[in-house]
Structure 1
């Protein structure tokens, strides 16, 4: 691994974070790209052909017709990918080490809220169960906050599009 360390400029301590980033990015991007592809395919050909007919270039059709027509679907894909990233438990659990100690270093093992809930809820009793419910409530609040921001952003896009969406 000495060559990779020298070439990439990262230490072996950062290796698991790098693996986590790659796995997490790929899991999020696969669903986002599939939905975006479907949104682009749903634009009626007659709309694109009409734009070409009045002299629009390929870039103008892509930017002004396809993107405008599918903006809600694109935003939906982005927030669905974000929701998957927030709720991802098992990939994170396996990669980052599942250590429940708090460390000042970003390169030490750690745990996410979802992984703590997945690991500890079955055998929790009393105060431990109450603290896990509190963690679940925090995760729910984070999810609702993301949903609220998504709705605000979507309403702003609808308003800027002039009601055409």
Structure 2
């Protein structure tokens, strides 16, 4: 019986196990709130209390009017494909089984753009303004990560 240390590090059984997908680990309380709100299966964006514009990424002041007033408002979850790239190399071992995957920027009905993944979409369907809708991928068994898929109809 051979010892695991007799095998090169990358060939060891312990190195072959697929790690869990990493979760976002925001340090800022306002970003933590964004991720906490996602956990109920709904996407929320900040809406300025003065001028009414939606904003994403979360921040403390409105980029349009400078107001610090805001509320968290639910998103429709509907949008269009603004930009994308098909990724063929996993930059983290947890994503190796997903390649190739579509890294996308979605423009939501609320006017914000969000970096995300597009799932369940054949590459020949990829096109600017492709209608998409929100879904959530469960990672680590108990964390909801927002993703998008083509909207039917």
TM range (shorter): under 0.3
TM-score relative to the length of structure 1:
0.23
TM-score relative to the length of structure 2:
0.24
| Greater Cα radius of gyration, structure 1 or 2 | 1
Higher relative contact order (CA 8 A, sep 6+): 1
Greater per-residue strand proportion:
2
